[in-house]
A and B are shown apart, each in its own frame.
Chain A
């Protein structure tokens, strides 16, 4: 019933372009649109901040920098484990791929769990998206980023099942690399969100 995208792409690829290249290129283009999506939110943040600088600085002090720093560390480390998974898949190393993917998923979950505690602490103190413009931006930006982390975890979990069956061998590792590219983007977006939301007072 379900025809994996990558396989379908391979069918139509012409002699001089491998399926791997086509899929990777498509992924890069998709990431470009993701960048524009987050860029628009960040632009909105910049405009609102310029209009009420003092209120933004004040509100930002309410955020928990330590938890966010731990989260930053978790995501950066997960990018490393993702690279290890891609490298292992490229070599056809099944156990290495599974280990790398499992570690990445675990670190992604750590990120979301910490995020959950951050959110519930805010709600506990009566802070909601509607509280002020800063928290509107905060919940919107981290919320959409969190959804992207969740989507990444789901994709990586599917890959984990596929990888454990030993599908990625003989130089076939396209889905791992494409998901890796996506995961790095999610990481990079966080690298921007962390300073502008937590560190800028």
Chain B
């Protein structure tokens, strides 16, 4: 446990910021790339909401500016094809270029080595390589917005044969091919991250840091990494199959004699359309958990820290995440209830999906148990953590309706689905992400974010989010299909059109509120109050380092003596107990036997 092995930090700009192997810098590289895409994807959502509220009227202000893009015509209107492109790219960008990079690329990279008391991840060079696979993918997906014919428009799920056909108009352009290539690169970036993080957590934990002392953030990242390692290669394979279908004229997803246009062009047929959905969802259902598990981990840390209480049921929290992982691999069929499926298979997938409600329920119960009877500090990160909790409950409950085959057949492909997954991914995950930034910003940049602006942002987001997404449940029940560009074309949707207008205005409020966050982020980076090492009086190892964290994290590799959530321990010097604080011993302690029992 000495200072040996510490390299001096790199002095050249190139090795410090571009080809850096420092997990903290790589985390920030992921973060800023994801912020850029958050703006792009958010703007796309605004364009869609404008079109849905006022179909066919030019988008004010932005319409003219963006008319060079394929999805906006010269008068600044969103075209019908363009709406498909917006739906597709909004989903793709938010999932693969915003939420996963922020959760895993930014928070995972930044926190995992700190939480295990290591100086970096196990394979720093591969870690850098992971970002440098992610960046070309980002360039490809962004470039696809500008190619002839516009970006991909077959939905973020790119169902075959829609996305597979190159002869017909719909997916004839290069947009879909670029989409496949970009996701392939993102996939391998994700796999590299996955096995790097797993190796780090399994092999590089500091002395004394047993599995029972790992913060739940890092447990969540551990389980996420298993998904990345084992599910992402299957996505990569699916993308390859579709790529060769498009580029080499194979027919993996094209049956015989069904698509005359393509058969006439020399396709042999003999493929299986549904196979795409099976392979795609075998990855993409676990991907849903990649999208939410790290958020659960962040929320656990926020709630325990600001409730000043140990997390309720630590082992149950870990076990529930592990069972979500196990079940997560055998539920993908619930996305395909209406695609055509043997009833026995449908029932099997229904039961396995409903089982996931159990571990999710355990987690909610334990978060509430942590809050029970505590003296809560209502800081900005805590408000975000509580928002996560309440939004996750709503999103989780609406998920149960989809799990039941008979109900799902009714609500499939309606706005009910849109409401559900936005409650999980925006209401759940993004609130955890905002909370995570307010919480760890001092560690990342050495300054505090502005608390007042943060609270304002949290409140406006909470209100705007619920006003925008809760009514979508009603739209779905009224039969409002998702992914349609012009709801006013359908007579039975006319009565709910005012609701569409209301949702759009709420969404504009929600979008505008995010500007407060971005302003606060960059303003605090430059001019925020300088942070002390442990501003939140938290336990885990990153708070034992100075703010901002020095190049090699720890002067000395820490020795861990405590679990991560020992708050308000009777007889302890302070109401928090840093994980590396040595035990005082029975004789020297302030009160004999006061040490918390495990």
Name A's B-contacting residues (CB within 8 A): 3-5, 8-9, 11-17, 21-22, 25-26, 29-30, 32-34, 36-41, 43-44, 47-48, 51-52, 55, 128-133, 136, 140, 144
Contact = CB atoms under 8 A, between A and B. Distances in A.
A8 B125 contact: yes
15 contacts: A3-B124, A11-B5, A11-B120, A12-B124, A14-B206, A17-B204, A25-B203, A40-B237, A40-B238, A41-B240, A43-B279, A48-B252, A48-B270, A129-B250, A133-B250
Contacts of B229: 29, 32-33, 36
Contacts of B125: 3-5, 8
Contacts of A144: 240
B126 A5 contact: yes
**Lowest 10 A-B CB distances belong to which pairs?**
A40-B237, A133-B270, A130-B249, A37-B233, A29-B195, A136-B250, A36-B233, A26-B199, A40-B234, A33-B233
A3 to B, nearest CB: 6
B500 to A, nearest CB: 40
B118 A14 contact: yes
B237 A133 contact: no
Contacts of B231: 36
B5 A44 contact: no
B322 interface: no
Contacts, number: 144
B232 interface: yes
Contacts of B195: 26, 29-30, 32-33
Interface string B250-293: 11100000000000001111111001001100100000000000
Contacts of A44: 237, 241, 252, 275, 279
A37 B233 CA distance: 5
Nearest to A48: B272
Given A5-B125, A15-B207, A40 B252 contact: no
B266 A130 contact: yes
Contacts of A136: 244, 250-252
A144 B1 CA distance: 45
B419 interface: no
B230 interface: yes
B122 A12 contact: yes
A26 B240 contact: no
A56 to B, nearest CB: 9
A128 B229 CA distance: 33
Nearest to A26: B199
Contact of A131 (B196, B207, B268): B268
B204 A133 contact: no
B302 interface: no
B202 interface: yes
B14 to A, nearest CB: 10
A26 B122 contact: yes
Question: For the side of the interface on B, what is the size category?
Answer: 35 or more
A22 B116 CA distance: 15
B230 A32 contact: yes
Given A3-B124, A12-B119, A44-B252, 4 more contacts: A15-B1, A25-B199, A48-B252, A130-B251
B345 to A, nearest CB: 14
B233 A130 contact: no
A3 B129 CA distance: 12
A16 B251 CA distance: 52
B122 A9 contact: yes
Interface in B179-214: 191, 194-196, 198-199, 202-207
A55 B270 contact: yes
Of A21, A37, A43, the most chain B CB neighbours within 10 A belong to: A37
A77 to B, nearest CB: 28
Contact of A130 (B120, B203, B204, B268): B268
Contacts of B275: 44, 47-48
B557 interface: yes
Contact of B123 (A8, A47, A51): A8
Contacts of A43: 279
B233 A34 contact: yes
A32 to B, nearest CB: 6
Contacts of A47: 272, 275, 278
Interface in B9-51: 21
B598 interface: no
Contacts of A131: 268
Contacts of B269: 133
Contacts of A129: 244, 248-250
A17 B1 CA distance: 14
Contacts of B271: 48, 133
Contacts of B205: 14
B307 interface: no
Contacts of B194: 29, 33
B120 A12 contact: yes
B464 to A, nearest CB: 40
A8 B251 contact: no
Nearest to B267: A130
Contacts of A3: 21, 124-125
Contacts of B118: 12, 14
Contacts of B236: 37, 40
A130 B191 contact: no
A108 to B, nearest CB: 23
B123 A9 contact: yes
Nearest to B249: A130
A142 to B, nearest CB: 13
A95 to B, nearest CB: 30
Given A33-B229, A133-B268, A21 B203 contact: yes
Nearest to A41: B237
A4 B21 CA distance: 12
Contacts of B119: 11-12
B71 to A, nearest CB: 32
Nearest to B230: A36
A190 B279 CA distance: 22
Interface in B98-151: 118-126
B199 A14 contact: no
Nearest to A4: B125
B180 to A, nearest CB: 15
Contacts of B251: 130, 132-133, 136
A34 B231 CA distance: 11
A32 B191 CA distance: 10
Contacts of B234: 36-37, 39-40
Contacts of A8: 21, 120, 123-125
Contacts of A25: 199, 202-203
Contacts of A5: 123, 125-126
